[in-house]
Chain A
Amino acid sequence: MSSCFRRIFAVAGNTFLEAVRQKVFAVLLLFGLVMVVGANYFTEFSFQEQFKFLKDLGYAAISLTGLLVGLLGAAQLIPGEIERRTILTALSRPLRRWEFVVGKYFGLTSLLAVMVGIMALAVWGVLKWKEVQLLGSEGTDPAVVAAIRAESMDPRLIQAVLLVGVKLAVVAALAVFFSTIATSTTFVIAMTLVVYLIGHLQSVAREQWLETGEAAGWGVRIFLAAVALLIPDFNLYNLIDEIVAGNAVAWRTTIEVIGYSAVYTSILLAAAALAFEGRDI
């Protein structure tokens, strides 16, 4: 068992280092950081709006950068290894195919975790910077000072970062699944992006499928069922909007979404391993 973990960690570590060495990820990280810092220059609004803009742009920057890193990283995971023939060397060693897939996924998610961590720290820094600016300009009324501090150091932002992180982990698992059946990097990127977009409409399809009954034709019902059954519901992560709006979100709800993401990721990785087992390389 321990040698199995060792092999997975070896693949994960190698994937992580390989990804870190690629300039494209550094450029994406820089792009995300510029987005976060640039958000600090919306100054013509009330301080509540300024904080909302900052948080929205901060989380959008984390999501967008993470999505691009996940897509580009996963696209190169297996198709890239097959193209370069390096996969033959890797699999000729005592390494099972599922261990290879899981190791690749952990390497990619480690990279995502590092990026999300760096960018979350940048968002936190910009919020503090905005707090200092606003405390200097909005006067010393204790109620205003307390409101500014509450906006900038809202502990619920940790929930938002966690939700962004687990959403990206599910997207990365999807990308890994597609990379095990794909022959080209374009296919992986396109399919993951399509599923990501449809995932934000999955709840609508699911409700239509469960509630239309006999009203819709067979073709429509099969399509809606396929969307509901095969695609994750990314609207569940819209709790981030609630947190940015300053509304209370129970930790229980957040943990449930994290649990859903963990189970979904495990199933996707199992499906990816099954698909990769039967694949000719």
Chain B
Amino acid sequence: MGGAIGLLLIWGGAKVPWEKEMTREQRKATYGFSGPTAVAIREKVGQGLALAALGGFRGLAANALMLQAHGAWEEQQWMRVRSSLELATVLQPRVAVFWDTASWHLAWNAAVAAEKYGGEPNETRRRIEARRWVEAGRDLLERGTKAVPEKAILFQRLGDLYWQRLGDYQAAADCYRLALAKGDAPPYLERFVGYALDKAGDSRGALEYFRGLRKTMGNPPDPARRPEVVEREILRLEKKLDEGKIGASQ
């Protein structure tokens, strides 16, 4: 028995540096840094979930939270929706679809429900409450882009949120640019940068962008990138800017 324990201790001395190095490499590949990550989980999860996290069944616990959030959404229990979704993203921060679903529930569903809430007659208060939900959704997506920085989807969603929920088109254009830099963005997204710049009032910037985009398509262009739409936008923006000049000179 003593020999067995001795062998395990000698092996323990050899394995600790190996385990340390493997953990460092895995964290670097996964999170982009090599510090401890378990602390955040231990602080935020309840006893039952902590056990699941310990047992290597973290994915199951996170899925259960998503189901709980779905149930709470059907009952319009928005605080429960938020807490379940936030916990799910804490348990599995590398799952992009969790951040996406969570922000959609908060910035769209909860915010619209707050806007239409019959129990609050004051419209300003309803709008302030709706804005809070939108901000909560944005906060989640910003955290999500830091947790899964290598994928385009969350940057794209953040751009959508700035565009559709906050009306900040310049920020939307910036997010779409970041999404396009990731390499897995859908092809149509490259046009959205120009649309957002135009909506933000920067028609000249949009025109420059579309001209640059058309150049990158080469000759003959790839039809999947819809060069005819880009050319149409260039003509529209040129006309708009010319009309603006004429209007200004008159």
Contact = CB atoms under 8 A, between A and B. Distances in A.
Interface string A231-268: 00111111111101111011001001100100110011
Interface stretch (B95-103, B128-136, B235-243): B95-103
Contacts of A234: 56
A272 B54 contact: no
A237 B23 CA distance: 10
A260 B11 contact: no
A56 interface: yes
A45 B156 CA distance: 20
B19 A233 contact: yes
Contacts of B19: 202-203, 206, 233, 236, 260
Interface in A181-210: 181, 196-197, 200-204, 206-207, 210
Interface string B54-66: 1111111011001
B57 A63 contact: yes
Interface stretch (B2-10, B75-83, B119-127, B205-213): B2-10
Contact of A53 (B3, B16, B63, B101): B63
A245 B92 contact: yes
Contacts of A7: none
Contacts of A181: 1, 4
Secondary structure type dominating chain A contacts: helix
Interface string A64-90: 100000000000000000000000000
Contact of A278 (B3, B36, B148): B3
Interface string A104-124: 000000000000000000000
Contact of A236 (B9, B26, B97): B26
B245 interface: no
Contact of B20 (A206, A237, A250, A257): A206
A235 to B, nearest CB: 7
B63 A230 contact: no
Nearest to B12: A229
B107 interface: no
Contact of B23 (A230, A236, A246): A236
Size class of the A contact interface (CB-based, 8 Å): 35 or more
Contacts of A238: 26, 56, 58
Contact of A260 (B4, B18, B20, B62): B18
Contact of A235 (B13, B23, B150): B23
Interface in B33-84: 36, 38-39, 42, 51, 53-60, 62-63, 66-67, 70
9 contacts: A59-B59, A177-B4, A181-B4, A203-B38, A229-B16, A238-B26, A241-B59, A241-B94, A247-B148
Given A181-B4, A271-B8, 12 more contacts: A42-B67, A46-B97, A52-B97, A53-B63, A197-B55, A203-B23, A203-B38, A206-B19, A234-B56, A240-B59, A241-B58, A242-B30
Interface of B: 1, 3-5, 7-9, 11-13, 15-16, 18-20, 22-23, 25-26, 29-30, 36, 38-39, 42, 51, 53-60, 62-63, 66-67, 70, 92, 94-97, 101, 148, 150, 186
